[in-house]
Structure 1
């Protein structure tokens, strides 16, 4: 993906030096938008003031890193107009909308649903993602599947949200609907309250609900209360040329596939959910990871990789069991083969420190062997797949991709080709022969899923 941060790589993170962050709300007299403000004057000033909300699917800060779906989009737009974004984290939805209305920010990028009530106050840019509004409950509590049943549960939703507008509209035909509200930056505190069984249910955007299930496996989604609804940035209509700039830029990003690819980057791993698997992972984050966390952090310090990524890979390999052994003889946290261990100087594969350090160095070597034409996070996926199946088979898959007119440098294309290496008409035509090509595809998907769950559970 063009200009996108490389997931799992320290070098790819958005670092404090790359943006200016304000964590307090702007003062009442800090209006920056006047009748003379234009997109050109913003360019001349060199700064785009972006109001946002803290949420796992919008904006989050961990140690010295700021990241989020919205941040990635904002950074691309800011680059296109030649400015740096300055982020202002607001306390809640209503404060953000009011601040844009008052001219205390140029745009509001916070996963805001386009609604009539909001459109009456501020301008929306083009839609960039569609979501449903999902009812989220605990598997041991009420699980309403109709609006009548929803009327009987203790429902708490985000104050000032589109969910309130939806419920108000539904109440016209379902008078029994009642709910409490809570002011927050996102629905996440309510999702947490449902997980702790402090309230029966809440409502959340579907992608945030699916994300929350990686933190709280007991959450369920028994119903939705809306069809697909578009998300958009908001901005103060006084800004001359902002409407044209946003329309043109978003049209280009829809056309070139950037938004689709970014959506896959952030949310593609949420498509599949295995309750038992996620529950086991969350439990092992608590009872196994602390013993090995320092080893992952030490290995990350000597490679390009985020320690969460190395830990996620180790979980896929061994479920963080230093004594793990497979039928093929690989063993240890990072499941090194004996020849690879000897090559790396690892004397004891069951020693956690040696295994993690050796596995990280091996992944680094594979990463460096990936052809230079493979860029961004695709390079990481190629290296992880090679860790699983061998670099020779990756080279073979690239050759097949090229023959089929696919992009041999794209993981999205390569993952459709790798399974073909188990078919004679394909593996007989390449240098390294047969491979169970579906396994590296699954391997990369699982590491990616564990990586995202791990960052959600252990952010620092």
Structure 2
């Protein structure tokens, strides 16, 4: 089905009609309001940026906007603005020490651009907005165990939280005009993860966030269920300071139009927000439960092994979970044993004399993974090198080399994990494994093995960041969260 020029791939037909209407209205408002608000030349702001050679971005430190990943800065909005800065040929400076209102204030006063899951609102004073980037659909989520709410009337009497200025508060106010008994709490201090944490812990019964935010965060909050969508979708857009010309806004709009026309914008949206399919595959609920109950017994051992081997301790912990579910006495039918499931021969080579000793197993597994990384050809770089070493941990280095040979025979790149990943399952087919040095292997297993470890690592990294954020929040709010952070919006009686 052909898509509207401003419509992401997952939009529905009703949403498309609303999107067209919103885009038309916003364009009309901008045309009507801008000339009277700006007495400067059309391109003055853009010329200033090009002259100083950098673009100043104000954002929020959240999984949907910007955060520090294993390979450096990442996040949907960060990636989008980074591409825009490259398009302009300038560098990017970033200030993520904001909540929503802080982003808007900073853009008005000093910044070039705000990208922080901001809802398009052309009536905000001192700001201009870009073209819509993607839809923001408000969604009610609730704590597992509650009776699933299905109507607005069933929300009355529940403790509901949302974020002030995010657009979800606007959706609730519009609903309250028709359902006067609706009440909620809103905060300008929290972020989505903290809000979901309060629902999971029971401080709130429910929360209203955006659908894409829940899709990205639900993996880490298995105690929270999605309920139903609320109201019409809003539009995510970038914010710019008014009164400094339209050059930067127009350049951003052209950039977004080109990105959408080439399909790159939809692809970027999908890469960040369309991962719901692996939620149950990796057993998220069981994993998070064991991460809280079982992992703390071995965390220091993983940290110590990480210091000696040079890996992230959370990666080693993810390998340990994939191997044994952190069971130090695990034993396979083939005689592989221990928390890191070492073979007897490998344990002997590593100097591990008791595979059932947690410390020896974890340190031995870390050393073995490091050996595999170092034995790979130098032509394999970055994450490709790590992923292939992880696959070799599962299937053996010889079979990995066979898969690389098959990859080369198929005309693909043997140094690229994405290509080798496609070749590994072929080791199960006689047509291919009969031509290799090491023969048959269950080549589909290392593909699943690496994928699972990457997902487990993502969860542990997120839980680690979230724990730090919750500690910071508690430090700011020693006398209780309700009085300082939430403002009660009473029923409209």
* TM-score interval for Structure 1 and Structure 2 normalised by the shorter chain: 0.7 to 0.9
Number of the residue aligned with 2:61:
54
Residues 80-121 of structure 1, C-alpha deviations (whole Å, 9 max, x = no match): 656554332354313322332x24211212233445656994
Cα distance, 1:221 vs structure 2? 0.8
Cα distance, 1:43 vs structure 2? 4.3
- Judged with a 3 Å threshold, the aligned counterparts in structure 2 of structure 1 residues 418 and 267 are, in CA distance, closer, same or farther, namely farther
Q: Is the 8 A contact 1:131 1:206 kept in 2?
A: yes
1:355 matches 2:357:
no
Number of the residue aligned with 2:319:
313
SS of 1:204 mapped into structure 2: strand
1:279 matches 2:312:
no
1:329 matches 2:331:
no
Cα distance, 1:220 vs structure 2? 0.6
Number of the residue aligned with 1:30:
none
Number of the residue aligned with 2:100:
93
Equivalent residues in 2 for 1:3-402 (5 A)? Answer: 38-60=45-67, 68-75=75-82, 77-78=84-85, 83-100=90-107, 102-114=108-120, 121-124=127-130, 127=133, 132-150=137-155, 153-170=158-175, 177-225=182-230, 231-236=236-241, 238=244, 241-243=247-249, 245-247=251-253, 270-274=276-280, 277-402=283-408
Residues 268-308 of structure 1, C-alpha deviations (whole Å, 9 max, x = no match): 65433239943333333333323322222223223442111
Equivalent residues in 2 for 1:395-434 (5 A)? Answer: 395-404=401-410, 408-434=414-440
**TM-score relative to the length of structure 2:** 0.72
Q: Which moved more, 1:444-453 or 1:409-418?
A: 409-418
Alpha-carbon distance in 1 for matches of 2:350, 2:111:
53
SS of 1:53 mapped into structure 2: coil
Cα distance, 1:153 vs structure 2? 4.0
Alpha-carbon distance in 2 for matches of 1:119, 1:440:
55
Cα distance, 1:138 vs structure 2? 0.8
Alpha-carbon distance in 2 for matches of 1:408, 1:260:
29
- Judged with a 3 Å threshold, the aligned counterparts in structure 2 of structure 1 residues 185 and 199 are, in CA distance, closer, same or farther, namely closer
- Judged with a 3 Å threshold, the aligned counterparts in structure 2 of structure 1 residues 58 and 413 are, in CA distance, closer, same or farther, namely same
- Judged with a 3 Å threshold, the aligned counterparts in structure 2 of structure 1 residues 142 and 53 are, in CA distance, closer, same or farther, namely farther
Cα distance, 1:369 vs structure 2? 4.2
Alpha-carbon distance in 2 for matches of 1:264, 1:399:
32
Q: Is the 8 A contact 1:142 1:200 kept in 2?
A: no
Point out the structure with max Rg over C-alpha: 2
Cα distance, 1:447 vs structure 2? 1.0
Number of the residue aligned with 1:441:
447
Cα distance, 1:159 vs structure 2? 0.9
- Judged with a 3 Å threshold, the aligned counterparts in structure 2 of structure 1 residues 430 and 131 are, in CA distance, closer, same or farther, namely farther
Alpha-carbon distance in 2 for matches of 1:159, 1:50:
21
SS of 2:59 mapped into structure 1: strand
SS of 1:180 mapped into structure 2: strand
- Judged with a 3 Å threshold, the aligned counterparts in structure 2 of structure 1 residues 180 and 288 are, in CA distance, closer, same or farther, namely closer
Gaps of 5+ in 1: 1-33
- Judged with a 3 Å threshold, the aligned counterparts in structure 2 of structure 1 residues 363 and 111 are, in CA distance, closer, same or farther, namely farther
SS of 1:111 mapped into structure 2: coil
Q: Is the 8 A contact 2:130 2:252 kept in 1?
A: no
Alpha-carbon distance in 2 for matches of 1:414, 1:130:
36
- Judged with a 3 Å threshold, the aligned counterparts in structure 2 of structure 1 residues 201 and 367 are, in CA distance, closer, same or farther, namely same
